[in-house]
Amino acid sequence: MAAPTEKTLPDITIFPNLNVIIRTPAGREYRGEAIEHNSRDIAGEHWYQVVKLNPVGKDNQRENAVLRQEFQAAQRHGNGGPLIFPNVQAPSRSSLNLNRIPLAKRHPRNADTLIGEFWDADGLWTVLTSPTKSERVLYAGSLLPAQVEIGNPDSKISQYRQPTKPGEMPIEEVEFLEGAKPQPAG
């Protein structure tokens, strides 16, 4: 009998129950919850605030705590970003806001796309996510290095430039021994 296989998820996945998993191309994972908000500008549109983002894994938790200390130190010294980008205004470390693509940049292919920025210990990511046709996944998308990362010679993440469309993602096969249960990450 063939062993069951499991497919990998996109970089960001928002499930119908509004649970969120973020997996950066650099290999970090975060879990949180989304809160849906109505747009103030356009009736019927929504944006999402992802809160309670917690790192998965001890190394990621430690590096996340160090980054949080850098943010606090930067704020005490009058700039919003961490020491690696002192002039970049930083969003809250425990949340991610996903807004619709601005009207001026919308076209039929990206009309439903949500965009946001996400900091982690590796750098600043631009998050792009779109609705899916799956009943099991509400939104799915990619993380790319933010523009400020691309021009930075010290960037840890500038090599992750190509977005991966959810339907074109590589499939990772994980084999389980018959009767064995998958172990939680971390």
Break the chain into its structural domains and give their ranges: 12-168
Per-residue pLDDT of the chain (186 residues; tens, 9 = 90+): 445 545 567 899 999 999 999 999 988 899 999 999 998 888 889 999 999 888 888 877 777 777 777 766 766 666 555 555 555 555 455 679 999 988 889 999 888 999 999 888 888 899 999 999 999 999 999 999 988 888 788 888 888 876 555 554 444 444 545 555 544 444
Helix H or strand E segment including 149: helix 147-150
- pLDDT number for residue 77: 64
The pLDDT value given to residue 155 = 85
The stretches of 27-134 forming alpha helices (DSSP H) are: 58-76
At 34, list the tokens. Answer: 């989304």
Q: What is the per-residue pLDDT for 123?
A: 83
What pLDDT, on a 0 to 100 scale, did the predictor assign at position 89? Answer: 53
User: What pLDDT, on the 0 to 100 scale, is given for residue 174?
Assistant: 43
Query: How far is it, in rounded angstroms, from Cα 138 to Cα 48?
Result: 12
Using DSSP, how many helices (H) and how many strands (E) does the chain show?
Answer: 2, 8
What pTM does this model have?
0.72
User: 29 with 57: CB under 8 angstroms?
Assistant: yes
> What pLDDT does 7 receive?
53
